[in-house]
Chain A
């Protein structure tokens, strides 16, 4: 089975580490790439500069609170590109604001998930994400 590539766009190193720990335990073969801000994420996805020749991720986990370019701006850019818009984007954020939720769905985020409190809950969410997106859902063969 070929490895699944996930792009995690997250600026908080603590949250990056938690995500990596959670995906490490996965029964799937998951390769987590990390971009620590919006610009880097887009460069990676457009395979610009040092990112030439990298894999296109199968799934994107996107935080909203990013420095400089915000998560929703990145989302808008992604979903307006013909090639990148097919990659499922999961918004993973602490914000519970109704406005953020609506905005993200309007910008065609595939779903909106709150980062839960405590590692166990976070782990459970990650397991859920894997089960759904890698097991139940059909993704394009690319």
Chain B
């Protein structure tokens, strides 16, 4: 509330000199303030007025016969800590003024400059309001953060428990179907064997799905930041993919990779998923050739993973990042369709975006940005 609004400002005045009271009221009216006031002189009436009158602001003399401004301030601090408190005095002295301001008194007003009372009240009320709003916002934010933290933790626990508990019955299904398949094969006809085959296959696939779900939910967990040499990351990814690299005869180029601040495990997963896909979705009789490049854009790094594979229709640009969504039947390309969903999660966790450009039949380039936290002297790695 301030003078500009229509609300009446409630002022509690602690002053015993009638002349001073009159002067104060005069300046308040002259300043154009809409207000109502109560005047008190002693500790008990002051304390009571704080509770009953509920002032928006207190104007207090420094020294009274049986009381004083400093004590009044501490009483007010107890009862209504956020109410602004202005000392009105002729003889306060600089050290006392500084002490009081340090203790939290909003302002002080010299009696010879009483005309400043309304602007000081306005400013005090404005600051008080802004402080209240800021506190409310911070509390709101903290409350959201707590709720989010709690919700995330719950989700992680749920994902972990669900996948963990799902494994046991699945093991039963998978193991006994397999036993059936092995030990009763001769006693069953071709059709029965075919049924069993699909059942076994289904159980195995479900097992992989659960594993991937567990991994996906874990991707949120441990979150390290260190200096990661991407050259080493790519090298490690290729090592993990050694089998498919050898099988396909894939060639991967990756010069001039940077060193940047990121979570090393997630970087490995990211590059492994993208390179793995590039190899997997190769043309039938082609040798996969993959080019990885990096360039600095302001504070972020832009990576490109280019392949000469079967390509993707641009219309699927949103679908392919959806968890478990695949564009091909499971018979054609193995995998649960989670690789790109994880890649997207990792990129976004690092403050970036991921997208692709592709020509079906010719190849695809996956682009993604990474925004490492603040400065760090990002450089190109030594290789």
Q: Which of A50-58, A67-75, A115-123, A133-141 contacts B (4 or more CB under 8 A)?
A: A115-123
Contacting pair A118 B168 (CB below 8 A): no
Contacting pair B164 A14 (CB below 8 A): no
Contacting residues of chain B (148-199) with chain A, CB-CB under 8 angstroms: 164, 167-168, 170-172, 174-176, 178-179, 182
The smallest beta-carbon distance between A6 and chain B, in angstroms, is 19
Query: Residue A21 contacts which of B167, B174, B179 (CB distance < 8 angstroms)?
Result: B179
Query: Residue A14 contacts which of B167, B176, B182, B207 (CB distance < 8 angstroms)?
Result: B176
Query: Residue A95 contacts which of B164, B175, B204 (CB distance < 8 angstroms)?
Result: B164
Report, nearest first, the 3 A-B pairs whose CB atoms are least far apart: A119-B175, A119-B178, A14-B172
The reply to whether the CB of A18 lies closer than 8 angstroms to some CB of chain B is yes
Interchain CA distance A95-B168 in the complex, whole Å? 10
Most B Cβ at <10 Å: residue of A94, A118, A122: A118
The reply to whether the CB of A12 lies closer than 8 angstroms to some CB of chain B is yes
Chain B positions within 8 Å of A115 at CB level: 171
Interchain CA distance A15-B167 in the complex, whole Å? 13
Chain A positions within 8 Å of B167 at CB level: 94, 117
Chain A positions within 8 Å of B207 at CB level: 117
Interchain CA distance A21-B180 in the complex, whole Å? 12
The smallest beta-carbon distance between B201 and chain A, in angstroms, is 11
Could you tell me which A residues sit within 8 Å of B by CB distance? 12, 14-15, 18, 21, 65, 94-95, 115, 117-120, 122
Chain B positions within 8 Å of A15 at CB level: 171-172
Chain A positions within 8 Å of B179 at CB level: 18, 21, 119
The smallest beta-carbon distance between A97 and chain B, in angstroms, is 8
Contacting pair B170 A117 (CB below 8 A): yes
Interchain CA distance A117-B204 in the complex, whole Å? 8
* Nearest opposing residue in chain A for B210, CB measure: A117
Interchain CA distance A14-B207 in the complex, whole Å? 18
The smallest beta-carbon distance between B268 and chain A, in angstroms, is 19
Most A Cβ at <10 Å: residue of B175, B176, B179: B175
Chain B positions within 8 Å of A18 at CB level: 175-176, 179
Given A117-B204, A117-B207, A119-B175, 14 other A-B residues pairs in contact with their CB atoms under 8 A = A12-B172, A14-B172, A14-B175, A15-B171, A94-B167, A95-B164, A117-B167, A117-B171, A118-B174, A118-B175, A118-B178, A119-B176, A120-B178, A122-B175
Interchain CA distance A85-B269 in the complex, whole Å? 43
Interchain CA distance A41-B262 in the complex, whole Å? 49
Chain A positions within 8 Å of B178 at CB level: 118-120
Interchain CA distance A120-B183 in the complex, whole Å? 12
* Nearest opposing residue in chain A for B180, CB measure: A119
Given the known inter-chain contacts A117-B170, A117-B204, A117-B207, please indicate yes or no for A94 contacting B164, CB distance below 8 A.
Answer: yes
Provide 11 A-B residue pairs closer than 8 Å at the C-beta atoms, listed in order of the A residue: A12-B172, A15-B172, A18-B179, A117-B171, A117-B204, A118-B171, A118-B174, A118-B175, A119-B175, A119-B178, A120-B178
Chain B positions within 8 Å of A21 at CB level: 179
